[in-house]
Structure formats: structure tokens, C-alpha cells
Structure 1
Amino acid sequence: MTQKSAYIEKMKSQLDDLNTNMNALQAKATEAKEDARDMYKAEMAKLQEQSNLAVAKFGEMKTASEESWDAMVAEMDKVRDAFVHSFHYFKSQV
């Protein structure tokens, strides 16, 4: 397996895990009291936006040329890190 293939598999696994955990948090948030529910909905919308951005960047990365690969990895790492940070923040609020 090439370094590029290994990175793609690792990133896919991480994004899948984050999205699975995000869905579990969303279910938990819907059980919250009504006053907290609005805050959770707003935070979930932000989290979903970051998930969509990560998935889009992942798609770009998979088709990146060898010349742009290093730059795409750096961008993907930043997007993933922002998604992870937002996820952990939201999780701490639930």
C-alpha cells in the first residue's frame, strides 16, 4: 500500500468515526430540554457544515495529483482538526 493510499484510508476511517459519533450526539441532543435544544440545533448545524467541508476536501484529496498531494494533505489535516475540535466542544456541551 502506498503512503497516499494509507493516508486516504486513515482519513476515511477518521471521518466515518466522527460522523457516526456526531449522529449519536445529535440523537442525544434531541432528548434535551426545549431551551437547550435550540442551542444544540445551532451547534449541530455548525458541526454538519464542518462535516460537509471535510467530506468535500476528502474528495478533492483523493483525486489530487502527485504534485499537489503534500498541499492537499496539509489542507485536509487542518479541516479534520477543525472538525475534531468542534466535535469535542459540542460533546462537552451535551
Structure 2
Amino acid sequence: MSTRDVYINKMKLQLDDLNLQMAKLEVRAQEAREDVRDTYKAEMAKLHKQSEIAKAKLADMQASTESAWDSMVAEMDKVRDAFVHSFSYFKSQVK
């Protein structure tokens, strides 16, 4: 397996794991007090958007040429890091 394939598989696993955790968190957010539920829903919508952006970036990477690969890795890392950061922050807010 090439380095490219390893990276793509690793990134896919990370995104799948984040989406699974997000689904669990969404259940907890729905059980939250009514006065904060709307805020949680809005934040979940933002997380879903970030997830879609990350999925699209991963699909672009899979279709990219070797010459574009290095710049795409850097972009993907930024997208993933932003998603992870947003998710971690939201998770810390849901009690």
C-alpha cells in the first residue's frame, strides 16, 4: 500500500470515528434542557457542515494528481484539525 493510500485510509477512519462520536453526542444534545437545545442544534449543524467539507476534501484528495498531493495533504490536515477542534469544544459544552 502506498503512502498516499495509507494517508487516505487513516483520514477516512478518523472522519468516520468523528462522525460516530458526533452522532452519539447529538443524542445527548437532544436530551439537554430545552433552553440550550436550540444552541446545541445550531452547533451540531455547524459540525455537520465541517464533516461534509472534510468528506469533500478527502474525495478531492483521492482524485488528485501526484503533483497536487502535497498541497492537498496540508489542506486536509487543516480541515481535519478544525473539525476536531470544533467537535472537542462542542463536546466539552454538552453536559
The Cα of 1:51 is off from its aligned counterpart by: 0.4
> What TM-score results when the alignment is normalised by the length of structure 1?
0.98
Alignment of 1:11-30 (within 5 A): 11-30=11-30
Distance 1:61 1:22 in 2: 23
Distance between the aligned counterparts of 1:38 and 1:17, measured in 2? Answer: 25
Which ranges in structure 2 are unaligned for 5 or more consecutive residues?
none
Separation in 1, partners of 2:45, 2:11: 22
Match of 1:2 in 2: 2
Percent of aligned positions that are identical: 64
1:85 equivalent in alignment to 2:85: yes
Who is 2:31 aligned against? 31
For residue 79 of structure 2, what is the amino acid of its counterpart? V
- Any gaps of 5 or more consecutive residues in structure 1? none
1:46 deviates by 0.7
Aligned-partner Cα distance in 1 for 2:3–2:77: 15
TM-score, normalized by length of structure 2?
A: 0.97
One-letter amino acid matched to 2:54: A
Please give the secondary structure, in 1, of the residue aligned with 2:64.
coil
What is the Cα deviation at residue 72 of structure 1? Answer: 0.5
Counterpart of 2:68, as a letter, is: S
